[in-house]
Amino acid sequence: MIRDNEIRVIGSDGAQLGIMSAKEALNLAIQEDLDLVKISPNANPPVCKIMDYGKYRFEILKKQKEAKKNQKTVELKEIWLSMTIDVGDLNVKAKQAQKFIAQGNKIKVSIRMRGRQNAHSALGVQVMEKFFELVKDVAVMEKKPLLEGRNILMILAPLKEAKK
């Protein structure tokens, strides 16, 4: 399917075979029972290589699969607090957050304010700061506590040392 008049050919062993017509290169590939693959179509003349294309595709897919397997996905776990949370419950939530961070996940800490709590959003921010004080040895505050509508949100991420 190579329609160029002249192409630069690279052999199956990686040696330069020179510039020749596409028919000659195709005949060389057929003699070796391999395929002629255009590697660099924009070069002048285009560069083609004699190779086993099926094996080449298999190797590429294998490398992509290996790279995907080694890739670490960071999840965003969510922890809900309330403005009237007690110290014991706050400690339980902090321990759970430390487990999530130890796994390398980020944490979204949120408080939903209801009714009269909307008038006292500063108390919710104080609860968030107390929560951060409990986990600050393993986490860093990526997004400070911020009022967004009826919710107060904060995002925590693992420390750089904790990832190593």
Encode pLDDT of 56-94 as tens digits. 899 999 999 998 888 777 788 999 998 888 999 999 999
In the predicted model, is pLDDT for residue 164 greater than 60?
no
| CA–CA separation, 24 and 17 (whole Å) | 11
Confidence band for 115, pLDDT divided at 50, 70 and 90: confident
Please answer whether residues 40 and 80 qualify as being in contact, where contact means their C-beta atoms are separated by less than 8 angstroms.
Answer: no
pLDDT, mean of residues 115-128: 88
Q: What is the pLDDT of residues 15-42, one digit of tens each?
A: 999 999 989 999 999 999 999 999 988 9
At residue 162, the pLDDT reads 41
Q: What is the pLDDT of residues 122-154, one digit of tens each?
A: 888 999 999 999 998 999 998 999 888 889 999
At residue 161, the pLDDT reads 60
pLDDT, mean of residues 40-51: 91
Instruction: Give the global pTM.
Output: 0.56
| CA–CA separation, 125 and 127 (whole Å) | 5
In the predicted model, is pLDDT for residue 106 greater than 80?
yes
pLDDT, mean of residues 108-120: 89
Domains and CATH numbers, the chain: 6-69 (3.10.20.80), 76-163 (3.30.110.10)
Closest CA to 162 of 105, 87, 110: 105
pLDDT, mean of residues 37-61: 91
